[in-house]
Amino acid sequence: MAGPAEENDNEIDYSDYSKSYLLKRFYRDYLRPNLLEYVPVQVLHVIGALAGLVPPLLLRNLIDDAIPSANLGRIVTLSLWAFGAFTLIALIRFIRNYFGHRIAQKVVFDMRNDIYSHFQKLPLKFHDRKKTGELMSRIIDDLNVLQEFIHHGPEGFLEASTTISGVLAILFLMDVPLTLIALSFTPVLVIFALTLIRRMHRAFRRNREAKGKLNDRLEDNLAGMKIIKSFANEDYEMERFFKKNEEHYDARAAAIKYFSTLGPVSYFLNSFGLILTIGYGGYLVYQGSLTAGTVVAFYTYLIRFRAPILRMVQISQRLSRFFASTERFFSHLDIEPHIAETAGGFSKPRGEVKGKVAFEDVNFNYSDGETVLNDIDLVVEPKQTVALVGPSGAGKTTLVRLIPRLYDLNEGSVKVDDVDVQDWNLRQLRRNIAMVMQDDYLFSGTVTENISYGKPDVTRDEVIKYALEANVEEFISDLPDGYETDIGQRGVKLSGGQKQRISIARALIQNPKILILDEATSSVDTYTEKLIQEAIDKVSRGRTTFTIAHRLSTITNADKILFVENGEICERGTFEELMDEKGQFYQFYQLQFEQLAETSG
């Protein structure tokens, strides 16, 4: 087959393709650029394996010649040869290990950069349907498998095959009948090793799956500790964790059982060949048809023979894991981005962007085919504030996410300053738009680092300026290190309102012409809501602003209110106009205040 075929959402499936295709692709894209370093290292493996065949021959000469003749010079010469051989082997092992690991790390370094960069280019639709753990596995686990194989796969094959070939050649040259008898148990050893290693790898796969489930349970538990304690559900959660931990324990125990069995049993099977060598070899020495030195050398070679046999079996298993990881790697790397950044697309200087937004006959659905937005027509003039209101799942968030082209449309167009967003340079477009979401993500780091995220070269004065606009200064003095306080993963050390205000400051740092606020004041107390709303009122001035409102009291001054339901704009107008119409917005507004009155009462 010539190449991969596309599946749903442009994900490539390599499972039906030949392993030679993947091997050639891996070699072409990643191994060939490092070939000048990689090939000499592999040659060293062969030289090292050949050097390892020398000491038993020296031992035979020592026993059969130098010692019986009491030739001290010969003994010294053989000892020096042995010293030279062992020194060469040690030196080769150091060089090959150092450079082998370095080259493997370099290849995986390039692969990891490529796959991470590619994930950054893929649209939000891709990330919506993928679990974080799955993508982490592609970046970390699969590439760790590849790194191990790059270094130990060819190395193991060359060293093992050279050793096996060399040992067999020397043994047959020494004595053919003794060789056949000594190796009679080798087929049994190979069959046993193949069977056990297959079972061992299945057991380790189950162990990895159980470990993944245990990690998921642990991550979920620790992240939700406040909820667990508020419901006094510690015992229930411990029981769930203990169950997953026990499953991991059992899976690990099964894997360890096979792993612990392989070495001793293979040693036991190999020992039959050694016993036959001693017995039959001793008999041949007794008859005078074989020397004692030859039997000792023979015995030494047989001891060396078992390890490369097992290594060749293990390489076949490593190779299967290599191909599985390569398939998964390329299947993600070759996903074509639906939304590609256009380097030569439309752009204009930041100061000339007005902030006009227009939706024309917009229809949109996600990959499951269900219509989310239907026939949306809307024009928002520069510096206007538009509020989107409606029940959950109505399509409000999806609608505003089309403006920075986080998703591409099925039909129609979205325009910024009368230019289709698909024709804009993507980076330029998004630099003029800022979003503050309901539960915005903060990165592990300091307050300053989070505020300056959209503009890394920002000055401290600018950080403070936008922090003041977003009412961050109201709580910054309470933090132990002020702006340099580490806020923890996801901003865990801050309250919800504090995180929202930092998110607003972060949005302002790039001085956007279009501001999108997705329920920025929900899930906070009244005092914090007031502070956030004050910040929103300040930052909205002079900007085209889209506000998705949960609390309708916050949108009374909007230039335009849209009531969205089932993916359609059902009503539009000012607050007074919609209240006078006494339509769906009016009912929605009245229902919310009735609920508020009941709660207050």
| pLDDT tier, 36 (very low <50, low <70, confident <90, very high otherwise) | confident
CA distance 417 to 404: 13
Q: Which CATH number fits domain 350-432+512-600: 3.40.50.2000, 3.40.50.300, 3.40.190.10, 3.20.20.190?
A: 3.40.50.300
Cβ partners under 8 Å of residue 165, min gap 6 = none
| pLDDT tier, 533 (very low <50, low <70, confident <90, very high otherwise) | confident
Domain residue extents for the chain: 15-174, 350-432+512-600, 443-510
* Residue 328 pLDDT: 81
| Of the ranges 77-81, 191-195, 379-383, the best mean pLDDT one | 379-383
pLDDT, tens digit, 9 for 90 and up, residues 226-241: 678 777 888 888 898 8
* Residue 5 pLDDT: 36
The owner of tokens 């989310």 is 372
The torsion region of residue 369 among left (phi > 0), alpha (psi -120 to 50) and beta comes to: left
User: How many alpha carbons fall within 13 Å on the CB side of residue 415?
Assistant: 17
- pLDDT(568) > 80: yes
The mean per-residue pLDDT over the stretch 183-212 comes to 80
The mean per-residue pLDDT over the stretch 175-195 comes to 84
Are 562 and 572 spatial neighbours (Cβ–Cβ below 8 Å)? Answer: yes
The owner of tokens 């009368």 is 418
| pLDDT tier, 353 (very low <50, low <70, confident <90, very high otherwise) | confident
Cβ partners under 8 Å of residue 294, min gap 6 = 60, 64, 174, 175, 281
- pLDDT(152) > 90: no
* Residue 1 pLDDT: 37
C-alpha torsion sign, points 290, 291, 292, 294? negative
Residue 401: DSSP 8-state = H
What are the tokens at 225?
């500790």
The mean per-residue pLDDT over the stretch 63-92 comes to 86
CA distance 569 to 586: 15
Q: Which of 506-510, 546-550, 596-600 has the lowest mean pLDDT?
A: 596-600
- pLDDT(357) > 90: yes
Long-range contacts (CB closer than 8 Å, 24 or more residues apart) made by 249-258? 250/210, 251/203, 251/206, 251/207, 251/209, 251/210, 251/211, 252/207, 252/210, 252/211, 254/203, 254/206, 254/207, 255/200, 255/203, 255/204, 255/206, 255/207, 257/203, 258/196, 258/199, 258/200, 258/203
pLDDT, tens digit, 9 for 90 and up, residues 233-269: 888 888 988 998 999 899 889 888 887 887 788 778 7
**Average per-residue pLDDT for the chain:** 83
Per CATH, the number for 15-174 is: 1.20.1560.10
CA distance 536 to 534: 5
CA distance 408 to 398: 11
pLDDT, tens digit, 9 for 90 and up, residues 478-495: 888 888 888 887 777 888
* Residue 249 pLDDT: 92
* Residue 403 pLDDT: 92
Kindly report the three-state secondary structure assignment for every residue of 183-195: CCCHHHHHHHHHH
What are the tokens at 34?
């490092």
CA distance 116 to 332: 10
Residue 553: DSSP 8-state = G
